[in-house]
Amino acid sequence: MEGEEDYKFNTPLFKVPTSSFTKNGFRLYVKFEGLNPTGTQKDRIARLHVSAAKKQGYYGITAGTCGNYGASIAYYAKLYGLKAKIFVPFDFHPTRLEKYASSNVEIVRVKGYYEEAVAKSIEFAEKNGFYDANAGSKNSQLDYEGYKTISWEIVEKLGNTPDLVIVPVGNGTTIYGIYAGFLELRNNGMIDRVPSMIGVAPADANPIVASYLSKSNEYHDLAPEKIKITEENEPLANYKSLDGKKAFEAIRASRGFAISVENEDMKFGTSFLKSKIGIDALPASASAVAALWKVPHEIIHNKIIVSLITGSQK
């Protein structure tokens, strides 16, 4: 654990050739979170939560997950010497979590969706005195603080403020945290504007995107029975996004929008990123690039665009 408290996340910003787009005339960069310890931006918040749990004297930490966040919690729990109890929907494919499982980690399969896994985790935390690292918990301010660092790194590496930032949305925590980071930079006089925040996910598996596309003025949950979950869209699948209201308002306040994608779009995005810049991206995350084929050209013409990309589970 030596030096871990001083560890600074500083993932690269890669420029992507746009000549393959039918209509180019914009600059595209990807913020590649695949070079974090477990390959996702979840490491940024997992480290904060596990460190806080250790400092506060907790014996263990718990979270509900689709897989990626659980992997980060498992990794840092081992590093800090804590027990971890991770709850996962029964039918999901938590490949990354299983990779980082160890003797100090217990994985519990839960009937239902991600939301049920979170509910079981919260219940376990309350009954057993574990630290609650779930989105929307009393400790969730650490999530926003962790994701603010992505904004800071983007501005530092670009030397400028992008026009659009595209983020895959599940709970909406990441996009809200990045927005909050840009807002803080602007309020401190370090940038002169906040970029438009663009959320991307399947509309039939995510209420943030569904709410925007329904032209509603506010966020609303989806009916659980209406959710269509696939192996590709699992990381984005929610019927109730725990930070959905914050994410929806971040999109609206930044003059952004939301885009719906399908499984084939995600797979295409993965292939595109591999062939153009040689990175292995998680399909759900690669939707943040594939979505550009669905945006009217006049919206992105002459714009500087940053897409947040997570590493594959290989």
pLDDT tens, position by position, for the chain (314 residues)?
Answer: 433 555 578 999 999 998 877 677 899 999 999 999 999 999 999 999 999 999 999 999 999 998 899 999 999 999 999 999 999 998 888 788 888 777 789 999 999 999 999 999 999 999 999 999 999 999 999 999 999 999 999 999 999 999 999 999 999 999 999 999 999 999 999 999 999 999 999 999 999 999 999 999 999 999 999 899 998 999 899 999 999 999 999 999 999 999 999 999 999 999 999 999 999 999 999 999 999 999 988 999 999 999 999 998 76
Largest Cα–Cα separation, the chain: 56
User: Which phi and psi (to 5°) does residue 195 adopt?
Assistant: -65, 160
- Roughly what angle, to the nearest 10 degrees, separates helices 244-253 and 173-187? 50
Is the Cβ–Cβ distance between 277 and 30 less than 8 Å? yes
Distances (CA, A) of 259 to 9, 168, 295: 28, 9, 8
Q: Which secondary-structure segment (H or E) carries 43? A: helix 42-55
Confidence at residue 104, expressed as pLDDT on a 0 to 100 scale? 85
Q: Order of strands, edge to edge, in the sheet holding 13-16?
A: 13-16, 27-32, 304-309, 164-168, 196-201, 257-260
All structural domains of the chain, each given as residue ranges with its CATH number in brackets, are 4-35+141-309 (3.40.50.1100), 42-132 (3.40.50.1100)
d(CA 14, CA 157): 10
CA-wise closest residue to 89 among 271, 252, 253, 227: 227
Structure tokens given for 289 = 């690039």
Residue 245 CB contacts under 8 Å (≥ 6 apart), including other chains: 218, 219
DSSP 251-284: HHHTT-EEEE--HHHHHHHHHHHHHHH---B-HH
Q: Is the dihedral of CA 178, 146, 60, 72 positive or negative?
A: positive
Confidence at residue 93, expressed as pLDDT on a 0 to 100 scale? 82
- The angle subtended at Cα 265 by Cα 264 and Cα 266, nearest 5°, is 90
Residue 281, strand partner residues:
311
Confidence at residue 3, expressed as pLDDT on a 0 to 100 scale? 39
Residue 15, strand partner residues:
29
d(CA 86, CA 137): 15
pTM: 0.95
Q: Which secondary-structure segment (H or E) carries 153? A: helix 141-158
Confidence at residue 5, expressed as pLDDT on a 0 to 100 scale? 53
**Amino acid, single-letter form, for residue 238:** N
